[in-house]
Amino acid sequence: MTDTQQANLGKTGESPQERDAKAADAQAGTSAAPDREGQEAALTREPRWQPVYSGSNRLKGKVAIVTGGDSGIGRAVAALFAREGANVAIVYREDYEDAQDTAAIVEQEGATALTLQGDVGDPAFCEQAVNATIDRFGRLDVLVNNAGEQHPAEDIRDITQEQLNATFRTNIFGMFHMVQAAVGHLPAGSAIVNCTSVTMYKGAPQLLDYSATKGAITTFTRSLSQNLVEKGIRVNAVAPGPIWTPLNPQGGADPEKVRHFGEDTPMGRPGEPNEVAPAFLFLACADGSYMTGQVLHPNGGTVVNG
């Protein structure tokens, strides 16, 4: 464990350097590197995706698909899964450089990466992605539905039909499409892990459409768990709180909100992707074998029900 990773244990609040870097990203509005807008390398305050502990083969011989796997939480999950022995298919929509960076991270862990570019809102692409994974690795054991988008709006009348369609298409329709494509290949003992959000539980006045999709994801997770339990497929979810990823400073949020992002949690800071990834690992591996239909809450101490 590095000194930086050790410092996160029991950490409340942010260092002056972290606050300054966050403020720089808020001031930039979109990115600190315009040629890489929307990507991880564009952030002044770089998200921490690095796995903290040595692997213990908890996913040895397994194959996982991670949607939205190019950056943020998806990158941290891909890196941790690889450290635990899984080969990883990284599904991404646009950020080629981030996807290649994540693939390199997976391979540095001694695993094999497959990058698949496309839109999870397109059922045909989801079929292609799953088939490509099976063709490359011969099996599929874990599906992580992490792809998501958000577009803040102060007034519900500012949410266009185009935005509403896009948010639901990516965040919840994409999960349906990926599960429909994958379920015939998932054996007993496999796992599906969906990414919902603390906004499903506490609401978010500037993220009306996003929060609505997260509510749908939680209900989808619970219902799908009951639908698939007799097949031996576990279905659970993770509901992160405010996590420092490209989604937030580059998602159109008000710069002042970005400047203070995560400070309203009991821990007084945003979380890091590598503080969320272990929840996905627990639900994906045999450690979580008696859990289905459940949600884990790495959210900085916000108390929620469910």
Domain spans of the chain?
A: 12-296
Question: Which one of 53, 92, 201, 210 is the catalytic residue?
Answer: 210
Residue 56: count other Cβ atoms within 10 Å of its Cβ. 11
210 flagged as catalytic: yes
From CA 37, how far away is CA 221, in angstroms rounded? Answer: 32
From CA 79, how far away is CA 88, in angstroms rounded? Answer: 9
**pLDDT score recorded for residue 28:** 62
Residue 24: count other Cβ atoms within 10 Å of its Cβ. 15
**pLDDT score recorded for residue 252:** 65
Q: What 3-state class would DSSP assign to 45? A: coil
The residue type at 99: A
pTM to 2 decimal places: 0.92
- The tens-digit pLDDT sequence of the chain (306 residues) is 555 555 566 677 777 777 766 666 665 654 444 444 457 777 888 899 999 999 999 999 999 999 999 999 999 999 999 999 999 999 999 999 999 999 999 999 999 999 999 999 999 999 999 999 999 999 999 999 999 999 999 999 999 999 999 999 999 999 999 999 999 999 999 999 999 999 999 999 999 999 999 999 999 999 999 999 999 999 999 999 999 998 877 666 778 888 888 899 999 999 999 999 999 999 999 999 999 999 999 999 999 987
Please enumerate in sequence order all residues whose Cβ is within 8 A of that of 184, keeping only pairs 6 or more positions apart, or say none: none
**pLDDT score recorded for residue 217:** 98
**pLDDT score recorded for residue 36:** 44
**pLDDT score recorded for residue 30:** 46
**pLDDT score recorded for residue 33:** 44
Instruction: Assign domain 12-296 to its CATH architecture.
Output: 3-Layer(aba) Sandwich (3.40)
